């Protein structure tokens, strides 16, 4: 049975806004006024943290294998991750869309269902945005607003020598998931009769299509009275983020290869694709884990946490940023992950 299709032109811009507004309810006490006026109104309980991301079809996502609901979820979550990386909690979200007439109202509903699911799971209010026609594919602009107790935000620029470098979760899975999706796309293009085979790749594919932000870590740090001395989210690859942190803090770093957390499925599939799992963990990107530094006195608090790995320590600036092999060899750390303005990037 063919699904009914409602053209965007049937509703128009303001009709589409009214259509979206009916699905939204505000829950945070800092959200005073949402969709329906010339601007949203929010209040602040401390310091406000603001972060924005732009997602472009053909650059950041491929709709041939990325479901619209997953895309909406991811568009919201990657913004929340930036707020958590400041030791804050996201509370509001703005979403603006550039959309062509190849999309129906039902397709836009599917995209927003993912956005609203992410907002529900992370306790965030969707308070507005904008819509416009697009001649160049789907465009998503997301801006998140967070709150943090004044003076407790964490920056990239405040790491100190001898502090420990920690990372949440595991690394490289999202990049490996992307390689599997691209492989199956190529197979399908060569022979449309062959259906994509994603069996056995559930974890890595989910990490690419539907990432999660590290909300629990921020709660855990607060409960255990640990304030990271510096923090950044792992969106462009671990190596790139470590170099960002070192550059901002004017410090060096030593990262131990044997301490990098890599999931068994990531390791297995990387080898299946003739890729080096270590290189994928260092440079893959889109893991949305949190990389942070802590004082040595907090080591005992984190050492038994299954979701936190201590992977190295901060050095003086003159030592540079290096990877230490299992044999003790020191290798200068290089960022080979995602850079929006370089053509030689890994497949994105």
Among residues 70, 82, 85, 79, the alpha carbon closest in space to that of 129 is found at 79
CA-closest candidate to residue 111, choices 135, 80, 90, 142: 142
Residue 113 lies in a domain: yes
Select the more confidently predicted residue: 197 or 315. 315
Residue with tokens 């943290």: 49
pLDDT at 339: 52
The answer on 143 and 168 residing in a single domain is no
CATH number for the domain spanning 312: value is 3.90.650.10
Better-predicted residue by pLDDT, 17 or 299: 299
pLDDT of 3? 65
| Distant-in-sequence, close-in-space partners of 143: CB < 8 Å, separation ≥ 6 | 50, 51, 52, 53, 79, 93, 94
Mean pLDDT of 292-313: 96
State whether 180 and 322 are in the same domain: yes
* Statement to judge: residues 127 and 182 lie in one domain: no
Q: Is 282 helix (H, G, I), strand (E, B) or coil?
A: helix
The string of pLDDT tens digits covering residues 74-126 is 999 999 999 999 999 999 999 999 998 889 989 999 999 999 999 999 999 99
Angle between helices 173-190 and 202-209 (to 10 degrees): 100
Could you say which of 148, 182, 207 is where a domain stops?
A: 148
Tell me how many domains the chain contains: 2
pLDDT tens per residue across span 157-201:
999 999 999 999 999 999 999 999 999 999 888 888 887 888 899
Residue 346 lies in a domain: no
Task: Classify residue 1: in a domain, yes or no.
Answer: no
Residue 341 within a domain:
no
Position 153 scores a pLDDT of 96
- Which band of pLDDT confidence, cut at 50, 70 and 90, is reported for residue 37? confident
The per-residue pLDDT for 101 is 87
For residues 259-272, give the mean pLDDT. 97
Residue 80 belongs to domain spanning: 8-148
pLDDT at 189: 87
- What integer is the mean pLDDT of 11-27? 71
């Amino acid at each position: 049975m063919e699904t009914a299709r409602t053209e965007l032109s049937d509703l128009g811009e303001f009709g589409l806004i009214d259509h979206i507004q009916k699905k939204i309810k505000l829950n945070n006490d800092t959200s005073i006024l949402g969709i329906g006026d010339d601007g949203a109104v929010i209040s602040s309980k401390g310091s406000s943290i603001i972060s924005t991301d732009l997602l472009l079809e053909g650059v950041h996502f491929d709709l041939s294998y990325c479901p619209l609901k997953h895309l909406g979820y991811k568009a919201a979550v990657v913004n929340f991750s930036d707020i958590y990386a400041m030791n804050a909690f996201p509370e509001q979200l703005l979403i603006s869309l550039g959309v062509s007439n190849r999309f129906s109202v039902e397709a836009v509903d599917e995209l927003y269902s993912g956005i609203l699911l992410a907002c529900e799971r992370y306790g965030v209010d969707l308070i507005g945005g904008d819509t416009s026609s697009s001649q160049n594919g789907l465009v998503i602009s997301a801006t998140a607003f967070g709150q943090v107790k004044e003076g407790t935000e964490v920056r990239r620029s405040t790491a100190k020598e001898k502090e420990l470098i920690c990372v949440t979760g595991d690394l490289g899975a999202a990049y490996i998931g992307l390689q599997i999706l691209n492989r199956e796309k190529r197979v399908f293009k060569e022979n449309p009769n062959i259906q994509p085979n994603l069996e056995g790749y559930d974890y890595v594919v989910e990490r690419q299509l539907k990432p999660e932000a590290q909300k629990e870590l921020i709660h855990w740090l607060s409960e255990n009275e640990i304030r990271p001395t510096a923090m950044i989210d792992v969106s462009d690859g671990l190596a790139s983020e470590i170099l960002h942190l070192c550059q901002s803090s004017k410090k060096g770093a030593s990262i131990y290869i044997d301490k990098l957390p890599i999931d068994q499925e990531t390791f297995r599939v990387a080898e299946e694709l003739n890729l080096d799992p270590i290189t994928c963990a260092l440079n893959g990107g889109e893991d949305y884990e949190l990389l942070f530094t802590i004082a040595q006195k907090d080591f005992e608090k984190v050492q038994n946490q299954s979701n936190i790995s201590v992977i190295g320590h901060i050095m003086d600036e003159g030592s540079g940023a290096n990877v230490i092999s299992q044999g003790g060899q020191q290798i200068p750390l290089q960022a080979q992950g995602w850079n929006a303005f370089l053509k030689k990037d890994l497949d994105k």
